[in-house]
Amino acid sequence: MIIMAPVLLILLGATEILQADLLPDDKISLLPPVNFTIKVTGLAQVLLRWEPNPDQEQRNVNLEYQVKINAPKEDDYETRITESKCVTILHKGFSASVRTILQNDHSLLASSWASAELHAPPGSPGTSVVNLTCTTNTTADNYSHLRPYQVSLHCTWLVGTDAPEDTQYFLYYRYGSWTEECQEYSKDSTGRNIACWFPRTFIHSRGRDWLAVLVNGSSKHSAIKPFDQLFALHAIDQINPPLNVTAEIEGTRLSIQWEKPVSAFPIHCFDYEVKIHNARNGYLQIEKMMTNAFISIIDDLSKYGVQVRAAVSSMCREAGLWSEWSQPIYVGFSR
Ligand SMILES: *[C@@H]1O[C@H](CO)[C@@H](O)[C@H](O)[C@H]1NC(C)=O
Ligand SMILES: *[C@@H]1O[C@H](CO)[C@@H](O)[C@H](O)[C@H]1NC(C)=O
Ligand SMILES: *[C@@H]1O[C@H](CO)[C@@H](O)[C@H](O)[C@H]1NC(C)=O
Ligand SMILES: *[C@@H]1O[C@H](CO)[C@@H](O)[C@H](O)[C@H]1NC(C)=O
Ligand SMILES: *[C@@H]1O[C@H](CO)[C@@H](O)[C@H](O)[C@H]1NC(C)=O
Ligand SMILES: *[C@@H]1O[C@H](CO)[C@@H](O)[C@H](O)[C@H]1NC(C)=O
């Protein structure tokens, strides 16, 4: 890397000279976009916009734009249109650059960069919340045929170590185009909000959008720094345990059956684990499977405890969390 860097610089320098002065007749000189702006359009979401340079000669070529996000997390992509939506945390500020490019199979011509930035929101150090964690779970909504499943959201956090005693925190979430403020807070002993519960949300449990959560606050003594975080639903969704687990013994066959959990995901979307506990010798058998039934051959007169748990399989979404085990049911004899 150390050896590469100067070489790269020389190459870049050469390209720029080529663009500026020594362009062969069939090459076009590229000018940077103008009026580049970054606008906050929602919680943890910005819209980047720019205009083609009015002095740019077109000459029937397909100009594109290269967008580079510099902070809070580097990203780099190309687009043909003059705006771009970005979902990202904003409490550390945001900065991006854009340039005009012309590419063909052999080469990339590029203008200089146009840049813009959003400053980090103000606030005293140590006043923002820390350790923000959120989970979702799903319940059946028997009263709505349009939306048979309701997703609830629960978030907790710790008060900033330097937040004054009179600090009050407020939590908001955004999912897609919906933003809501928390209505049901839990408080610590000094009355500061430290958790929030939304019994119903606009979160789509099978959706792939990021869940954006913001906690800001106010105090008479200092400005409270806001904090925002993005959550992937698969990583925070607490799956319900399987339903209606039954088990029976016929001869040497222990057959176990269950139903899929309460969930917006269809039946083929689940992995299961079955846990069979032999009460006589303490032996535990754990089997992983994708069907809703399991038969175990037993050769032991014993009492068996049976539990099943579920997870959404990677066929339907990125791997996530296992549910709790179902309540144990018992079959067989105890001696
Ligand atoms: C850039 O913004 C200025 C001021 O708002 C405006 O007058 C001008 O027309 C814009 N340029 C382009 C190319 O849109
Ligand atoms: C908060 O998060 C930090 C860093 O992730 C961790 O070291 C700390 O143990 C957490 N504190 C609590 C009380 O969970
Ligand atoms: C969903 O989560 C909330 C809060 O964590 C909890 O009170 C509730 O019992 C959960 N519901 C289900 C169906 O698991
Ligand atoms: C829907 O019905 C089920 C079964 O009757 C019940 O357990 C559940 O609590 C109901 N859910 C709501 C949101 O009323
Ligand atoms: C917190 O953020 C929300 C949503 O952006 C905003 O409406 C509200 O005014 C902010 N509150 C404070 C105290 O900064
Ligand atoms: C569970 O069993 C009950 C009673 O047999 C039945 O009414 C219910 O529909 C079953 N639940 C599912 C999800 O099949």
Sole residue written with tokens 């011509």: 109
The pLDDT value recorded for residue 288 is 96
Ligand nearest to the CA of 219: 5
Q: Which of 4-8, 124-128, 296-300 has the lowest mean pLDDT?
A: 4-8
Looking at the predicted structure, is the pLDDT value of residue 335 above 70? Answer: no
- Tens-place pLDDT, residues 13-26: 444 444 444 444 45
Global confidence as pTM: 0.84
Task: Give the distance (Å) from ligand 1 centre to CA of residue 114.
Answer: 14
User: pLDDT for 242-300, tens place per residue?
Assistant: 999 999 999 899 999 999 999 999 999 999 999 999 998 999 999 999 999 999 998 77
Instruction: Output the pLDDT for position 213.
Output: 98
Question: Encoding tokens for residue 257?
Answer: 């059956």
What are all long-range contacts of 87-90, with beta carbons under 8 Å and residues at least 24 apart?
87/44, 87/45, 87/210, 87/212, 87/230, 88/44, 88/45, 88/46, 88/230, 89/44, 89/228, 89/229, 89/230, 90/40, 90/44, 90/46, 90/118, 90/121, 90/228
Whether residue 156 is predicted with pLDDT greater than 80 in this model: the reply is yes
Q: Is the pLDDT of residue 142 over 80?
A: no
Q: Which residues line ligand 2 (CB under 6 A)?
A: 130-131, 158
Measure the CA–CA gap between 179 and 150, rounded to whole angstroms: 16
In the sheet that holds 193-198, the strands lie side by side as: 130-140, 149-158, 193-198, 185-187
Tell me, using a 6 A CB cutoff, whether residue 244 lines ligand 6: yes
240 Cα nearest atom in ligand 3? 14
